[in-house]
């Protein structure tokens, strides 16, 4: 079987996942694990911050070609990123400056993207380190502070990290500088490609530098593989743990939990509830 047929199959698989409403990573997005969630209102004012109850959830966040494959350097994601990008923290001032400049340019070009504009209104105040002071002082993380991923939420908006307006805008800025090896269509041909194909911390790469695969095709192929390799399983685990936590805290009834189990895991309710009750 030729690589061309494999690529075509993965591209079709990605499009099918999108059409079915699966939580597959969008184009011009990448996966990160959120360590701190920051909630702001629509005026860009800080409301609260917390560490997620469910650990290890993978979130799709908007990125650039460069930031999506970075192993160093000063290439920021658009909205959600390491603390050293979203705040003036750490040794490299360039990172926070680059983050603000990129987000400012985007919001000026896209005033209709309320999610991004509200986040920019907040981060440009420079108050984030003050607002996160208690968490940074009281919570022990197992990674360097500057590498903590900060994820923003806007009260009243339901973006869950994703920003499809960014996808449309970013693709419009990329020059069609070649013919995609996978599709035979004109596309932007990047000089490199993301890693983390079979696991979130992995460094394996599907495409070598200058492989000639277009940006759109490579994003679909890589995100389809990531979905099948680990993202779908991660989403299922997080959703299940969230339901169990909500049930234990009295936020949902046993009937609500049973309805969800019956829908997602038919025939497993008796086994599930017996396991849950045995841990009480």
Residue range 30-38: mean pLDDT, rounded? 95
Q: 201-208 — which CB contacts under 8 Å span 24+ positions?
A: 203/71
Percentage of residues in the chain having pLDDT higher than 70: 98
The string of pLDDT tens digits covering residues 55-82 is 999 999 999 999 999 887 799 999 999 9
What pLDDT, on the 0 to 100 scale, is given for residue 2? Answer: 63
Q: 116 falls in which pLDDT band (50, 70, 90)?
A: very high
The string of pLDDT tens digits covering residues 3-12 is 767 889 999 9
In this structure, is the dihedral angle defined by the CA atoms of residues 93, 132, 83 and 123, taken in order, positive or negative? negative
DSSP bridge pairs for 151: 37
pTM: 0.91
Q: Are 111 and 118 in contact (CB under 8 A)?
A: no
Mean pLDDT check: name the lowest of 37-46, 223-232, 238-247: 238-247
The string of pLDDT tens digits covering residues 189-222 is 999 898 777 777 777 778 888 889 999 999 999 9
In this structure, is the dihedral angle defined by the CA atoms of residues 136, 137, 138 and 142, taken in order, positive or negative? positive
What pLDDT, on the 0 to 100 scale, is given for residue 279? Answer: 65
């Amino acid at each position: 079987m030729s690589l061309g047929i494999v690529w075509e199959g993965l591209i079709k698989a990605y499009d099918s996942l999108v059409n079915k409403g699966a939580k597959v990573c969008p184009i011009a997005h990448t996966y990160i694990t959120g360590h701190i969630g920051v909630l702001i209102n629509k005026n860009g004012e800080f409301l609260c911050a917390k560490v997620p109850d469910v650990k290890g959830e993978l979130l799709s966040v908007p990125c650039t070609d460069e930031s999506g494959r970075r192993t160093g350097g000063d290439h920021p994601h658009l909205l959600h990123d390491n603390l050293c990008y979203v705040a003036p923290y750490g040794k490299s001032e360039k990172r926070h400056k680059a983050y603000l400049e990129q987000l400012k340019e985007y919001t000026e070009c896209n005033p209709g993207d309320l999610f991004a504009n509200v986040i920019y209104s907040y981060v440009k105040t420079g108050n984030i380190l003050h607002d996160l002071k208690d968490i940074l002082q009281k919570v022990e993380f197992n990674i360097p502070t500057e590498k903590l991923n900060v994820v923003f939420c806007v009260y009243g908006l339901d973006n869950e990290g994703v920003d499809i307006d960014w996808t449309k805008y970013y693709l419009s800025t990329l020059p069609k500088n070649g013919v995609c090896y996978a599709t035979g269509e004109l596309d932007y041909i990047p000089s490199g490609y993301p890693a983390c194909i079979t696991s979130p911390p992995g460094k394996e790469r599907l495409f070598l530098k200058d492989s000639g695969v277009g940006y759109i095709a490579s994003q679909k192929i890589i995100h389809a593989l990531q979905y099948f390799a680990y993202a779908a399983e991660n989403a299922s685990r997080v959703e299940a743990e969230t339901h169990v936590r909500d049930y234990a805290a009295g936020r949902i009834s046993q009937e609500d939990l049973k309805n969800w189990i019956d829908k997602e895991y038919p025939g497993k309710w008796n086994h599930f509830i017996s396991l849950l009750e045995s841990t009480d």
